[in-house]
Amino acid sequence: MTQAIARTTDNKLKPTFTKLVSKEGSAEYPLKAIHICEETFAPLEVAYDYDAIKAQVSRESIAAGPNSIWRYKAFLPVESENPIDVGTGMTPLVKSTRLARRLGLKNLYIKNDAVNMPTLSFKDRVVSVALTRARELGFTTVSCASTGNLANSTAAIAAHAGLDCCVFIPSDLEAGKVLGTLIYNPTVMAVKGNYDQVNRLCCEVGNTYGWGFVNINLRPYYSEGSKTLGFEVAEQLGWKLPDHIVAPLASGSLFTKIYKGFQEFVKVGLVDDKAVRFSGAQAEGCSPIAQAFREGRDFVTPVKPNTIAKSIAIGNPADGMYALDIARKTNGNIESVTDAEIIEGIKLLAETEGIFTETAGGTTVAVLKKLVEAGKIDPEESTVVYITGNGLKTQEAVQGYISEPLIIEPKLDSFERALERSRTLDRLEWQQVLV
């Protein structure tokens, strides 16, 4: 590369992000903790100087970077030379054999954020970016409205970075998600209400206190972290885009940012342009975007959530209509599945691939299956399914739906009787299947 790389006077790489822009209209804003356009009330988005990015990065420079999301730092809205890096990102892209065979797919890949660091969900990506930016903007207390995973991540990474932390969650969350927040010793406000009520309260608090809410006033920076789920897949596929992706839809933000990530890689010449189909997954008990898709609407009507998939149960999704638009224009689909199908999705992924995901991942796998069965995914398409969180956090969801251990005495004959019993049961089950 012969182009000169822009540097600041102290020889640091110049930041590549330039301003905040409205997602509707042409209003521009400075790079502060603001998230909504004053004119149109549309969300704000970070804008970049793509020529500057192009001058800074190459496939080789990225591959030689840290083994974390920070290898893509030129595409992320932070200035720090030393962003908060707890090893987040670069989770495996597993080429599926057994799940692919079960579903009749030939080129299925699983992006496994169930083992993301440090708190086992994709939220570690957005929080690493948001808290780095929060520090740059001078915040000393960070906060969030969360369905659980985000609270885990904010509390953990704030602890690591030495920031004060106060998180807001609905009071009926799964025990693992509550404990997995409290252990980092933040202040935890358990709100008697659903996520949308928690979110509204946080907006009020955000207006009153000088706190950095990662998914409210820091949202433009925060949400950019999800682009790394696009970048990594492209890099891990050998600097190629897939034919089709299937991802869960909560607020819709993740979906739109994977799309943005792919587009940015094309824009700076890291991958060739191609059509990628975007399909989204919702739980039937909270499926406002899937309903709008089905009914051909371009607006999303809020619903009251009632599903075991609590981490994606957002009844009033902020980026719902942008997700709708992407699914439609890429020739994708948005589907929903029942709670029973979600549990089957969790079990199917565990039994075939050895990956234990939470309810959101079960939703995504179940929707993948449904789309394949409906002929909406071609068996030859290279398809990436995004698994966004870990099953150890939502153990309640599968309890009572999986087999029990065989209790035995520490003696060979006790073991043999139990083994015989279990084999007879297996045979009986098979006979019932065959009858």
Site residues for its own copies, window 153-212 (CB under 8 A)?
155-162, 166, 169, 171, 175-176, 178-180, 182-185, 187-193, 197-198, 200-201, 204-205, 208
Residues 411 and 122: their CA atoms lie apart, in Å, by 45
Among positions 270-289, residues that touch its own copies (CB under 8 A) are none
Residue 434 sits in the site that holds its own copies (CB under 8 A): no
Count of residues making up the chain: 435
SS3 97: coil
> Residue 45 in 3-state DSSP?
strand
Tell me the per-residue interface mask from 338 to 357 with its own copies, x by CB under 8 A, - otherwise: --------xx--xxxxxxx-
Task: Give the Cα separation of 252 and 276 in Å (integer).
Answer: 17
Q: Give the integer Cα–Cα distance in Å for 141 and 82.
A: 20
Q: Which of 16, 22, 56, 119 binds its own copies (CB under 8 A)?
A: 119
Site for its own copies, residues 358 to 397, rule: CB under 8 A: 390-393, 395
Cβ 52 to its own copies shortest distance, Å:
29
Q: Which of 108-116, 245-253, 269-277, 365-373 is the region at the interface with its own copies (rule: CB under 8 A)?
A: 108-116
Q: Which helix (H) or strand (E) holds 189?
A: strand 187-191
Residue 326, Cβ neighbours under 10 Å: how many?
A: 23
What is the nearest approach in angstroms of its own copies to the Cβ of residue 139?
Answer: 17
**By CB under 8 A, residue 9 contacts its own copies:** no
Closest separation in Å from C-beta 30 to its own copies: 28
Determine, following the binding rule CB under 8 A, whether residue 238 of this chain makes contact with its own copies. Answer: no
Cβ neighbours for 28, distance < 8 A, ≥ 6 positions apart? 19, 20, 21, 22, 47
Q: Which of 44, 76, 94, 130 binds its own copies (CB under 8 A)?
A: 94
In which region does residue 241 sit, left (phi positive, over 0), alpha (psi from -120 to 50) or beta (all else)? beta
Residue 31 C-beta: closest distance to its own copies, Å: 26
By the rule CB under 8 A, 27 interacts with its own copies:
no
Question: Alpha carbon of 150 to those of 67, 158, 197, 213, 311: distances in Å?
Answer: 22, 12, 16, 11, 9
Q: Residue 329: what are its φ and ψ, rounded to 5°?
A: -75, -15
Strand partners, 39: none
* Distance of alpha carbon 288 from alpha carbon 300, whole angstroms: 6
Q: Which is nearer to its own copies, 3 or 430 (CB)?
A: 430
For its own copies, which is the closer residue by CB, 374 or 406?
406
Q: How many CA atoms lie within 13 A of 288 on its CB side?
A: 23
Under rule CB under 8 A, residue 404 binds its own copies:
yes
Q: Give the nearest distance from C-beta 9 to its own copies in angstroms.
A: 28
Distance CA 33, CA 214 (A): 10
Q: How far is the CB of 91 from its own copies (least distance, A)?
A: 7
Q: Tell me if 100 contacts its own copies by CB under 8 A.
A: no
Q: What is the footprint of its own copies within residues 41-80 (CB under 8 A)?
A: 67
**Whole-number Cα distances in Å, 173 to 76, 183, 275, 288, 394:** 31, 15, 39, 21, 9
Whole-number minimum distance, CB 204 to its own copies, in Å?
A: 5
Q: Of the ranges 33-41, 71-79, 94-102, 328-336, which one interacts with its own copies (CB under 8 A)?
A: 94-102
Q: Say if residues 243 and 181 touch (Cβ distance below 8 Å).
A: no
- The region of 277-285, 294-302, 316-324, 410-418 touching its own copies under the rule CB under 8 A is 410-418
Among 7, 14, 32, 98, binds its own copies (CB under 8 A): 98
| Helix, strand or coil, per DSSP, at residue 433 | helix
Minimum CB–partner distance for residue 34 and its own copies (Å): 21
Minimum gap (Å) between residue 255 Cβ and its own copies = 24
